[in-house]
Structure 1
């Protein structure tokens, strides 16, 4: 796979979003750096080790931190926390960042070396690893998704799938890192996200979004929900969910006819979020094949698995469904109405959509969140004690090789 370069400043694209990615360092809450809170959350054998070392004499140690699979380096949340703890404890910690934020990291390749007092560092390992592994894997996923569909804008919708605020912050940060790495290679990447709290990672002041299905149920019709939104937010672009009543094409066209000025100006979008239990309006297996034969005949001949076939011509938001929506809009005279697609757009589905040249303008997704959580486990091993290289048998690959390392390079 392509290896992303280190991150730099880059435009996030026009029309839907402007501005630079959020670069402000995170500020851990005081409770996150409190010794009692750390002791309560860390593994007990690290707490015991701290007491033993304090009793028998401190040492200056170096930890090597790595993951067992390829990732994109996303260490900022971990390093910000580590620096804050070191400051609170009045201890010095040296950070040698081998792979800068946004760089590709090979499996087993040390991502960072951390050097300092064994007493001061020994009880931090559990929390340190928690803040690193999942972010790096999610950044890798986001990077791959953006490269699969380089002309498509992405909207991060991870919050609803996260286990609390800390994970929400971590996943948004990770998506922004992977996105900016892909932008360095020409992709549009993530233009924003769906909530205000983490919008800063994407260079935005607030989250994007118009309506959930619940508003359409409340309004009683898709058109009425669109009217309510537009009356309340008359200056905003309008994106309308069209699958609530199972009439994606019919309701999409009715909304476009109701708002012809928005449609002509490119400020109207239909969002396809058809669930996997049914086909988009007017489609079935045979018609889905026919749609792809009209627009991307090669894709249907190159599928490699049942999952890929489902993404192409199956139920839910398939490539055929997106092409059918585009056909209907164009035939009705609405070529500037955009299509927003959501529902399970992970790396694999994005790759299939690229194969089918699906006419997507925006993808809304939280599927950069790692599927296999066991792949997110970061590991740390001490590789030096008072300057003497020493590591457990089998981990010799973690020992330092040369001194050509950039020190403390996050965000520079």
Structure 2
């Protein structure tokens, strides 16, 4: 399916109307998150790279025009003005991996109005979903307190594209691997995994199942030990590992029950068998809260595998985000709706030490000691720099995380930093609001009334 059709109907009808009215002057749209989801102290910017790929290749073709005409139940010739519409504008954005706060633009698009409008749905879809998942995954890294975290989310995410994104985003914030083979191959990630309970059941005997698995995969192996009785399964795994002379890099995996208590018993069994270097991996319904509880309890777990709850960002699966027009043809634009008012004008975010962030107009000078977050990433519909590596994006994340105040990193009752609005932007917003409200009042005033008689 053509990417031009991955849009909401009203984007098509608005773009068509703009073209019909000759409204093709440059427009700037700003994409931002209004407020953090409950329980969050920060967000990790993500989704930019797929957005740039989309903008670089999207173009309305003959088949797209036919599809638009069909869904609108209109003659095809009426939709032909859309033919060839693509994206030839510019994008300024916060690079993937940077930590951001509510009210700060994650990206701004400037392009002829129909082009910028048609991009809205795809951009919100990608940035919102990926930022939500990356932010959830980052909290798991915090909870693990230095222990490896791996992604097991493929089977439970909302589609295979979302699963690939979850694996990539986990790596972006520091995950050690993924069970998703396609994602591992595509992004150069470490592929990890063990066996299913069905594998053990198929053999009928745990020891024979473990031996067979080790024969097929003679490198470091991980045995799933909770198919029948977890503690007994650990003992069987220990016996097979000793029998085969396997130690370094091997592990047992706990996937059910009281993971903390079972990890203690598993560690005791492995140590008693002379296998202190065999690790304990835990999975099964874990997210940052479950991982944090196990770490705080001192559970001897070496690796955490997270899946469903992280891959779908279960406790905060969406962001209250918007893509709003802030300038058209050199005229500042803003929305006045109650509780959803926006600030006019193209913007920049300046970050001072300790996340002292300032949202300002784009052409304002940076406050002393602050640096800009939004960078030019596309001009003339083309990328202005090479695609960054995952390692480079992860380095941005790690640097921001180290600077983020401890209160914002808390998993429970975090206190996020608050971005301030520059005085110049504040005055500009007030002036534009006053002019718009005056225009609305004048437009709504009754005209001259005819005299009686």
When normalised by structure 2's length, the TM-score is 0.66
Alignment of 1:95 with 2:77, yes or no, is no
Tell me, what secondary structure is at the counterpart of 1:161?
coil
State the distance in 2 between where 1:108 and 1:46 align.
24
1:73 alignment partner in structure 2: 45
Q: Superposed, which structure 2 residues align to 1:207-226 within 5 Å? A: 207-226=191-210
Larger gyration radius, structure 1 or structure 2: 2
Counterpart of 2:357 in structure 1 is none
- Residue 85, structure 1, aligned to residue 58, structure 2: yes
Q: Does 1:379 align with 2:322?
A: yes
Distance 2:268 2:286 in 1: 22
CA distances 1:26-47 after superposition (whole Å, capped 9, x unpaired): xxxxx343x3xx1xx4222211
Q: Which among 163, 168, 175 is matched to residue 173 of structure 1?
A: 168
Instruction: Report the CA distance shift for 1:202/1:384 in structure 2 as closer, same or farther (over 3 A).
Output: same
Equivalent residue number for residue 449 of structure 2:
none
Which of 11, 36, 42 is the matching residue for 1:46? 11
2:272 equivalent to 1:272: no
Q: Deviations over 1:358-410 (max 9, x none)?
A: 22221111232211455335321111112322111211188512344421176
Structure 2 residue matching 1:343: 3-state secondary structure: coil
CA distance in 2, matches of 1:91, 1:374: 29
Alpha carbons 2:259, 2:282 under 8 Å: kept = no
**Offset at residue 329 of structure 1 (A):** 1.8
Matched, 1:118 2:118: no
Offset at residue 242 of structure 1 (A): 0.6
Matched with 1:128 is 123
The question of 1:159 aligning with 2:154 is answered yes
- 8 A Cα contact 1:264 1:336, kept in partner: no
User: 1:242 aligned to 222, 225, 233, which one?
Assistant: 225
* Change beyond 3 A, Cα 1:48–1:251: same
Match of 1:232 in 2: 216
Q: State whether residues 108 and 346 of structure 2, in contact with CA within 8 Å, keep that contact through their aligned partners in structure 1.
A: no
Contact 1:65 1:112 in 2 (8 A): yes
Tell me what 2:331 maps to. Answer: 388
- Where does the alignment leave 5 or more consecutive residues of structure 1 unmatched? 1-30, 180-189, 275-315
Measure, in 2, the Cα distance between the counterparts of 1:376 and 1:201. 27
> What CA RMSD, in Å, does the superposition of the two structures yield over aligned residues?
2.4
Q: State the secondary structure of the residue aligned to 1:368.
A: helix
Q: For residue 65 of structure 1, report the CA deviation from its aligned partner.
A: 0.7
**Does the 8 A contact of 2:149 with 2:303 survive in 1?**
yes
Q: 2: distance between equivalents of 1:242 and 1:195?
A: 22
Per-residue deviation, residues 112-164 of structure 1 (Å, max 9, x unmatched): 11111111232221122111111111111111111221331122111101222
Taking structure 1 as the reference length, what is the TM-score of the superposition? 0.72
> Post-superposition shift, 1:216?
0.6
- Structure 2: any 5+ residue segments left out of the alignment? 37-41, 61-83, 348-359, 364-371, 378-384, 393-453
Q: Quote the Cα distance in structure 2 between the aligned partners of 1:264 and 1:45.
A: 61
Q: Within the alignment, does 1:368 sit opposite 2:337 as a pair?
A: no
1:186-224 Cα shifts (integer Å, max 9, x gaps)? xxxx221112210146633x7322311110110112211
Tell me, in whole angstroms, the C-alpha distance in 1 between the residues paired with 2:243 and 2:328.
Answer: 70
For this pair of structures, how many residues does the alignment match?
A: 322
SS in 2 for 1:134: helix
The correspondence of residues 343-362 of structure 1 with structure 2, limited to 5 A, is 343-362=284-303
Q: What's the secondary structure of 2:195's corresponding residue?
A: coil
Contact 1:256/1:268, CA 8 A, preserved across alignment? no
Any idea what the Cα deviations from partners look like across 1:225-277, whole Å, max 9, x if unmatched? 1111111122x2111111111x2111212221122166663232110001xxx
Superposition deviation, residue 82 in structure 1: 2.2
Q: Give 3-state SS (helix, strand or coil) of 1:198's partner.
A: helix
